[in-house]
Structure 1
Amino acid sequence: MADQMRKIVAELPDLTDVSGVSAVMDERVAQGDAAFVADLGIALARTYGASGQPWQCRSALDHAVRLLAVSTGRENVTQALRLFSSAGISSRKLDRRAASLLASSHEAADLAAAFTGHASEELRACLVHELVLRGVAAGEAPGIAAWATSPHWRYHPLAWMPLMLSGMEEGADLPSYSAYGSGHAMPYGPSQGRELARTADAGVPSAQETTTETDVRAMGRAVASWAEESNGRIEARVFQFAAPLNAETVPGVIPTLGLECLRGAGRKTRLSVASCPPARAWRVLFAAASTGGAYGSGSYGAYGRLAAWKSVAALTGCPEDSRAAEVEARVMACDWYAFDADTKWFEQVAWDIGLATLSPDGRRLAVLAATDTD
Structure 2
Amino acid sequence: MSHDRETPGDSDSDRHLREEPQHLDELGPEAMYEAAVRLCTVGDGPHGVSVARTTVARIAETLADTRSRDCVMFAADLVGRLLPDGGMSPGEGDRLLRSVAAKLVRAQHLRDIEPLFGELPDGVSGPAVELRACLLGELALIGSGGGRRSLEAYADRLRELGHPLARLPRTRLDIEHRFAVRVRGLGPVKTAQQLQSRFPEAPSTDGGAVAGRGARDARDDGRANAAARPFRAGGWAREPEARFFTLPGRLGPDDFGISFLKELSLRCLAGEGSRRGIALACVTTPDDVLNELFAASYVGGVNGQGQGSAYARLYAWESLYALMGLPTGVPLLEAVRRAADHRWLRFMAFTDWFHHDTSDLAFAVLDPTRTRVAVLAATDTDVHRDALG
- TM-score normalised to the size of structure 2? 0.79
Other-structure match for 1:196:
201
Other-structure match for 2:70:
75
- Tell me, in whole angstroms, the C-alpha distance in 1 between the residues paired with 2:363 and 2:260: 14
Structure 1 pair 240/280, CA: closer, same or farther in 2 (3 Å)? Answer: same
Other-structure match for 1:275:
283
Tell me whether 1:315 sits opposite 2:310 in the alignment: no
Other-structure match for 2:162:
155
Q: What secondary structure, in the 3-state scheme, does the structure 1 residue paired with 2:245 have?
A: strand
Q: Structure 2 matches for 1:102-181, cutoff 5 A? A: 102-116=104-118, 120-136=128-144, 138-150=145-157, 153-173=160-180
Q: Structure 2 matches for 1:1-374, cutoff 5 A? A: 6-13=11-18, 15=19, 17-19=20-22, 21-25=23-27, 28=28, 34-48=29-43, 52-53=47-48, 57-58=52-53, 60-87=55-82, 91-116=93-118, 120-136=128-144, 138-150=145-157, 153-173=160-180, 187=188, 189-190=190-191, 191-193=195-197, 194-196=199-201, 198-202=203-207, 204-205=210-211, 206-225=214-233, 231-241=237-247, 242-247=249-254, 249-266=256-273, 268-374=276-382
- Tell me, in whole angstroms, the C-alpha distance in 1 between the residues paired with 2:30 and 2:224: 48
Structure 1 pair 313/38, CA: closer, same or farther in 2 (3 Å)? Answer: same
Give 5+ residue unaligned stretches, structure 2: 1-9, 86-92, 121-126, 383-389
- Whether the aligned pair in 2 keeps the contact of 1:109 and 1:142 (CA below 8 Å) is no
1:51-107 deviations in Å (ceiling 9; x for gaps): 643675355324312211112232321222222222567855432221122122223
Structure 1 pair 289/92, CA: closer, same or farther in 2 (3 Å)? Answer: closer
Structure 1 pair 266/106, CA: closer, same or farther in 2 (3 Å)? Answer: same
Q: Quick one: percent identity of the two aligned structures?
A: 27
- Tell me, in whole angstroms, the C-alpha distance in 1 between the residues paired with 2:44 and 2:98: 21
State the 1:163 CA deviation: 1.5
Structure 1 pair 336/106, CA: closer, same or farther in 2 (3 Å)? Answer: farther
State the 1:196 CA deviation: 1.1
Greater shift after overlay, 160-169 or 54-63?
Answer: 54-63
Structure 2 counterpart of 1:161, one-letter code = L
State the 1:23 CA deviation: 2.5
- Whether the aligned pair in 1 keeps the contact of 2:17 and 2:24 (CA below 8 Å) is no
Greater shift after overlay, 357-366 or 263-272?
Answer: 263-272
Number of equivalences? 348
- Whether the aligned pair in 2 keeps the contact of 1:357 and 1:367 (CA below 8 Å) is yes
State the 1:337 CA deviation: 1.3
- Whether the aligned pair in 1 keeps the contact of 2:258 and 2:279 (CA below 8 Å) is no
Other-structure match for 1:180:
none
- TM-score normalised to the size of structure 1? 0.82
- Tell me, in whole angstroms, the C-alpha distance in 2 between the residues paired with 1:300 and 1:110: 20
Give 5+ residue unaligned stretches, structure 1: 29-33, 176-184
- Whether the aligned pair in 2 keeps the contact of 1:244 and 1:363 (CA below 8 Å) is yes
- Tell me, in whole angstroms, the C-alpha distance in 2 between the residues paired with 1:303 and 1:50: 34
- Tell me, in whole angstroms, the C-alpha distance in 1 between the residues paired with 2:81 and 2:367: 49
Structure 2 counterpart of 1:84, one-letter code = V
State the 1:197 CA deviation: 5.1
Greater shift after overlay, 274-283 or 56-65?
Answer: 56-65
State the 1:326 CA deviation: 2.9
